[in-house]
Structure 1
């Protein structure tokens, strides 16, 4: 594996960090993403949808883990149709899967540094980038603790650290707040706002309140297709007291889904 230069990993401006048209992606034999159109630029975008909506499969396609089965997908100005060289995209991509693997005997520092090496970061900058990522997720005191000794919430924060170690231009986080306590979730929201200043951040979650509080835009999918896209304020305005939910954001989410299902049933 060769070392890459700083110039190769420098930020580049693209009209859309994520641009999908008619995107189709399979999860096994099932077409989990079916003709989805999506355009996302810089900022923090919340990805919402019921179980089985295709969120995780979409995230895996955007992370270049699975190849599209149809349509077109462009990431950071480069085609991701399965035939192109994806290494330039992967160097500036951060990804936290819903279930991520790790070496239990690694320390937090070793794990994050190893992921930085896999992303082909310049060797000279790995140590400082690793420490910064660990500090940003609040694990400085646990930097030299083995992963197998960490709680579930700490492991999740270690996963976030490896995703941001390369200061990614595109960051994909699938259920990142699982296991985090309320205080840690508030800190995470602040981190998201900071990361979204220059990067395209997409957060898949079931916690509508996290999306309403931290995101600049909301994307709602169902049955593999885009149902609705707009600001958190517009999401809130979609619902009223007659819709299900404990908060205004949840009621707006429920209202949009209800209308979509009613229209699809006609």
Structure 2
């Protein structure tokens, strides 16, 4: 099955939700034009919401206003700015997902317009979507996350993070897009000898599990996703196939 939107941006690029949405919609239109049906897999709740519900109708960026908020982030820290947002709009604070870049953008817009990004509404999406979330049982998810994390650390992740640090400063604020991915800061600490690989694996696995739970909650509440375990999905597929082709023996 062909995959799309791989290697579409350089690690030094500031890749935005608008960039993603436009690229995704081009790929979807191309697939539909060829008579196929696209599957959109993965992505953060913020990006999926923009794609399936439409891009937010927020004003364009203001460099001067953003610079002031970035200076405040440096001086006061992320938690203080998030607390400011939560005091006025708890839903907007939750939508930030502790992402410094989103916090800066939200406060930049709030101080210019008196409104937060979520209050501007959305443009209509280009396509209609059916959203389904697959979630294994907790025990299986925990085991698979731990196994994959250790395999990635053993397979060159620290070296990749070390290379990335040479391309994009990990200490820059707001945090560069390339350093927002889970685990890269821990992998860099392993490469520099500041963190034991086993401790890094434990931290990354914990953060990943917490993120998957937040992502599942987001897709269910914000996108109206049908949440299924792989076993339940397989059983439903078998039932549909049996109805379509009665008497035929199904493999597996």
Q: What TM-score comes out, normalization by structure 1 length?
A: 0.25
Q: Which has the higher helix share?
A: 2
Q: Which has the higher strand share?
A: 1
Q: Which one has a bigger Cα radius of gyration? A: 2
Q: What TM-score comes out, normalization by structure 2 length?
A: 0.26
